[in-house]
Amino acid sequence: MQFKIAFIGFGTVGQGLTEILLEKKDMLGEKYDFHFKIVAISDIMKGAVYDEAGLDMEKMLELVKKGKKLDEYPTGVKGMDSMATIQETNADTIIEVTYTDVKTGEPALTHIKAALNAGKNVVSTNKGPVVKQVMELLDLAASNNVHYGFEGVVLAGTPVLNLAKFTLAGNKITGFKGILNGTTNYILTRMEGGMSYDDALKKAQELGYAEADPTGDVEGLDALGKVVILSNVVLGKNLSVNDVQRKGITGITGEDVKKAKAEGKRWKLIGSAEIQSDGSVKAKVSPEKLPLSDPLAGVCEAINALTYYTDELGPVTIVGPGAGRRETGFSLLIDLLEINRKLS
């Protein structure tokens, strides 16, 4: 199938996906009959360009890497805002990769609703809309006969949502426990190596793991969003952010980390949820001092991990990257290929 793609937002994740698409173009065509043209980009900082015949994305990446505006692209219509790009271009698939706000879901929520209402597929790594209104958005996609994919909202391209939906199908999943935030895991790992909290956070920002506002990472809000998403999408519950207890890692000192090491333990920021006997769900995010024998204790750097508790297999754990340019960009390809499979 031939996709006509528009990017809403063109930061590191969008650029990461573009690099993968360009490098793997031939393989994607030959192996999966997946073909694409990128027809539009609209980014609040970088500007906008639209060409219904398709943009030269090598040229576009060059512009962006030099810090130039998209308006310097030699041809095409310039200056369309996000809503015009969604509603007025010939794109059939919108990639929503703007700023994440798990409290309001905006501006992504408005973008996604507009795209689905316009009969366009949406793939997105934006956690906000999934935290706020995932079921409404999935219903809206179904009623417009299009698809809404968001594999990358938890553990980036490490496919935790597809794992639960497809390959673990037939199991009852009764809970989960995981390291759901790369920034905090990176900081805790570096602190164990003797780096200060401030330096480790700065390094995590430089490496592109942290959110635009890293308070969301270190105070546990990012992990909390992921706990809400997993509870609602995988466990079938209806939690909101206020239903999850939250504590971040800002209270953990270098001294605490050293002490844990001497005890043969390691601090990790853990997000978990467990269905209770009355059907309710108990969910929380908090630092836990794990013994080194716990499989999650061995997961270091910006790597994430998630254990699902299933009735047929017991605990099933997946470990992989949970942040990063290409790693998150790849999650969008997972969604695009799923749509391609459904429509082929």
CB-wise, 93 or 100, nearer to ligand HSE?
100
Could you say which of 96, 101, 151, 211 contacts ligand HSE (CB under 6 A)? 211
3 state DSSP class of 192: helix
How near is the Cβ of 90 to ligand HSE at its closest, in Å?
Answer: 31
Residue 210 engages ligand HSE in binding (rule: CB under 6 A):
yes
Nearest to 338 by CA among 74, 207, 110, 151: 151
209 binds ligand HSE (CB under 6 A): yes
Q: How far is the CB of 13 from ligand HSE (least distance, A)?
A: 9
Which residue, 70 or 156, is less far from ligand HSE as judged by CB?
A: 156
Specify the stretch interacting with ligand HSE by CB under 6 A; choose among 18-26, 111-119, 165-173, 207-215. Answer: 207-215
Q: Looking at residues 176 to 195 of the shown chain, list those that interact with ligand HSE (rule: CB under 6 A).
A: 181-183
How many C-alpha atoms does 116 have within 13 Å on its Cβ side?
A: 26
Just list the catalytic residues: 226
Q: Per CB under 6 A, does 150 bind ligand HSE?
A: no
Q: Which amino acid is at 47?
A: G
User: Could you tell me the smallest distance in angstroms from the CB atom of residue 299 to ligand HSE?
Assistant: 13
| Choice between 16 and 182, CB closer to ligand HSE | 182
261: left (phi over 0), alpha (psi -120 to 50) or beta: alpha
Q: Decide: is 219 part of the binding site for ligand HSE (CB under 6 A).
A: no
- Contact segment (CB under 6 A) with ligand HSE among 103-111, 142-150, 205-213, 293-301 equals 205-213
Inter-axis angle of helices 127-143 and 108-117, to 10 degrees?
10
Give residues with Cβ within 8 angstroms of 236, minimum separation 6: none
**Among the candidate windows 51-59, 86-94, 204-212, 239-247, which touches ligand HSE by CB under 6 A?**
204-212
- Helices in 178-245 by DSSP H: which ranges? 182-192, 197-206, 215-218, 221-233
CA 302 to chain centre: 14
Which residue, 188 or 336, is less far from ligand HSE as judged by CB? 188
Contact region with ligand HSE (CB under 6 A), list: 67-75, 111-119, 203-211, 247-255: 203-211
87 vs 286 by CB, closer to ligand HSE:
286
Amino acid at 19: E
Helix, strand, or coil here: 89?
coil
The contact pattern for ligand HSE, residues 294-323, with x = CB under 6 A and - = no contact, is ----------------------------xx
Residues 115/86, Cβ–Cβ less than 8 Å: yes
243 touching ligand HSE, by CB under 6 A:
no
Question: In angstroms, what is the minimal distance from the CB of 186 to ligand HSE?
Answer: 8
What is the SS3 assignment for 106-169? CCHHHHHHHHHHCCCEEEECCHHHHHHHHHHHHHHHHHCCCCEECHHHCCCCCCHHHHHHHHCC
- The Cα-based distances of 174 to 194, 288, 310 in angstroms read 38, 21, 6
Q: Which is nearer to ligand HSE, 197 or 209 (CB)?
A: 209
The single-letter code of the amino acid at 323 is: A
Q: Which residues of this chain interact with ligand HSE, rule CB under 6 A? A: 156, 181-183, 209-211, 217, 222, 322-323
